[in-house]
Amino acid sequence: MKIALIAHDRKKDLMIQLCTAYQAILEKHQLFATGTTGLRIKEATGLDVHRFKSGPLGGDQQIGALVSENEIDIVIFLRDPLAAMPHEPDVTALIRLSDVYEIPLATNIGTAEVLLRGLDAGHVDWREFYHVDGDHSLLLD
């Protein structure tokens, strides 16, 4: 599975804790992240992470583009709901795209843990259907 990892500044330490705790699960999958988040994950865990630009510089949009092409299976986006973000429209667009394309999305640590445990237990295997079938119109019916 292809997993996108994004964290606002005040949530980056929490993302590192999550990736450290679930490293054994995450290392079995392809990981993508926005710039600083990806760098911090690599430095803390040694996980192989493809890094995009930082969120405010277009990283959220780059991940959103992959979501719209059905190239991401899970998004973990630890958002800071108490901080104003200059790129909030990009954040909103990414969340919207995740909903449009039925991509599981966690925006807090509790949901992220449930999603990763479900992934490990095989409860996200239904995403493989979309890779084999290739008919994205099924998502929009």
Residue numbers annotated as active site = 60
Q: Let me know the angle formed at the C-alpha of 90 by 85 and 96, rounded to the nearest 5 degrees.
A: 120
3-state SS of 10-72 is HHHHHHHHHHHHCHHHHCCCEEEECHHHHHHHHHHHCCCEEECCCHHHCHHHHHHHHHHCCCC
How many other CB atoms are found less than 10 A from the CB of residue 58?
17
